[in-house]
Amino acid sequence: RRKWKRVVGVLKELEESCETTVGRLKQVVDAMAVEMHAGLASEGGSKLKMLLTFVDNLPSGSEKGIFYALDLGGTNFRVLRVELGGQRSDLDPDVEQQPIPEQLMTGRSEDLFDFIASSLYQFVEKNDSVQSPITKLLGFTFSFPVKQTSVSSGVLIKWTKGFAIRDMVEKEVAGALQQALTRKGLNMRVSVLVNDTVGTLALGHYHDADIVAAVIIGTGTNACYWERTDAIIKCQGLLTTSGGMVVNMEWGNFWSSHLPRTSYDIKLDAESPNPNDQGFEKMISGMYLGDIVRRVILRMSEESDVFGPVSSRLYLPFTLRTPLMAAMHEDDSPELTQVARILKDVLDIPDIPLKARKLVVKICDVVTRRAARLAAAGIVGILKKIGRDGSGGITGGRSRSDIKMRRTAVAVEGSLYTQYTMFREYLHEALNEILGEDIARHVVIIVTEDGSGTGAALLAASHSSEN
């Protein structure tokens, strides 16, 4: 007996608990805007950290000169050089990527930074004079949690992603790199220290001055945006010439009771190394979507024999990676041959009927649709906070018809958006539904590429007169 009823019941329950009606999404939008407010009002006022970046201007296209960047945020690091001619143009940076030897990820900070400084030295030597008396400027993208103390300095809060260099924790990050550059005799100054989303915002803004926010949806998810300094209440008296500053939201940690949560999310969170952390990220990003689907298939498999005997692979966390989930979701062959292949190769579930394969596609659809729609709600939350959602801002009393909606652009990066068509389409659809077509017409999503590298070099340029 296949017990189809059971399986259909599990699917129905999943659909119900993942429901993202426009009404529900609007509640998420409001919650996001409210939490942003709270995070800006006081330190620890919200699950949203709303970190100050001290980035008080964004590249405009008029930058001139040669600038370098170093991008460190995972198992590889990249060095990059960009030449700016004073006019917006297609940037064509020289880039070199290198893996970080594993022993350096858990050793002493001096060894890591000396290694990086040597690579940078060789890279500079190829293109410019290392001996030049003119100090070269370097933008440093460091994608770990940092408490920023100025645009060019900050203290490491904790390592993530497999790094564990104890002597670095609570130490000044840019300073450690600067010392290594000096030891190496390289005349280069670390002039900005930024997080990858800030780089994305900078690169976006270089090409399009209407960009107000940047969102990354890849392995993890995060966002940053341009805020007026007088709205950053927790830092009273903060003054910048521009009157604004980029705020790094760390939105992966957003949480609200309005988020549609399932039993699978609860278990995924409980079994993760960081329970109660990064709740929004666990529903949206590439690290997790495949694993939510695995959990649903496991439950169905346990409750019926539609998938044959329960495959032991189904018990292994993260066996089903998100790119493969996407491949199943987007399988448009009549017999769903991709689905069959992936189920067999990856999950060790051979030969299931077409009807059951369709069920798997449906699960992928439900999980991705929820993810993309929540990401859209997050974006509208930011627009609402800065009064660009067409409603006149969080406290605005003006009526809708009084508002002349300005063109508003959001920079987006990350494979979920760029590689996963269904995700992208669901995100756009939700933006339209939440904002209404009249407003949504003025909101554009711009894809940037490699903001974490190029953006940092651009920020080194736009902040070059400041320090």
Residues that bind ligand ADP (CB under 6 A): 218-219, 286-287, 321-323, 326, 414-416, 419-420
Cβ-based neighbour number of residue 403 at 10 Å: 17
Cβ atoms 286, 415 nearer than 8 A:
yes
Lookup: tokens for 362: 């449906």
CB of 321 or CB of 362, closer to ligand ADP: 321
161 is catalytic: yes
Residue with Cβ nearer ligand ADP (244 or 451): 451
Kindly write down the DSSP assignment for every residue of 264-307, as one continuous string.
HHHHHHHTSSSTTS-HHHHHHSTTTHHHHHHHHHHHHHHH-STT
Rg of the Cα atoms in the chain: 23
User: In the numeric block, which tokens belong to residue 74?
Assistant: 């995972």
What sign has the CA pseudo-torsion 200, 204, 205, 209? negative
Contact (Cβ atoms closer than 8 angstroms) between residue 4 and residue 15: no
Least distance CB 200 / ligand ADP (angstroms): 11
Specify whether the CB–CB gap between 143 and 197 falls below 8 A: no
Cβ closest to ligand ADP, residue 84 vs residue 284: 284
Nearer to ligand ADP, 75 or 129 (CB): 75
Cα 271 from chain centroid (whole Å) = 22
Chain centroid to Cα 270, Å, comes to: 22
Contact 254, 279 (CB under 8 A): yes
| Minimum CB distance to ligand ADP smaller for 146 or for 434 | 146
Cα 47 from Cα 37, distance rounded (Å): 11
Q: Is 196 a catalytic residue?
A: yes
The b-or-e profile of 59-78 (16+ CB within 10 A means b, else e) is: bebebeeebbbbbbbbeebb
Distances, alpha carbon 347 to alpha carbons 143, 339, 354, 357, in Å: 33, 11, 17, 13
| Residue with Cβ nearer ligand ADP (98 or 129) | 98
Instruction: Kindly state the smallest distance separating residue 161's Cβ from ligand ADP, in Å.
Output: 9
Which residue of the set 126, 158, 161, 358 is catalytic? 161
Burial of 1 (0-12, 13-18, 19+ CB in 10 A): exposed
Least spacing, CB of residue 388 vs ligand ADP, in Å: 25
Q: Give the nearer residue to ligand ADP in terms of CB position, either 149 or 219.
A: 219
**CA–CA separation, 103 and 110 (whole Å):** 13
What gap in Å lies between CA 62 and CA 391, rounded to an integer? Answer: 33
196, 265, 291, 389: the catalytic one is 196
**What is the nearest approach in angstroms of ligand ADP to the Cβ of residue 195?**
12
CB of 467 to ligand ADP, least distance (A): 28
Nearest approach, Cβ of 419 to ligand ADP (angstroms)? 3
Nearer to ligand ADP, 56 or 450 (CB): 450
Is 218:416 a contact under the CB 8 Å cutoff?
Answer: yes
Separation of alpha carbons 445 and 443, rounded Å: 7
Measured from the CB of residue 231, what is the shortest distance to ligand ADP in angstroms? 29
What's the min distance (Å) between Cβ of 421 and ligand ADP?
A: 9
Residues annotated as catalytic (active site), given as ranges: 161, 196
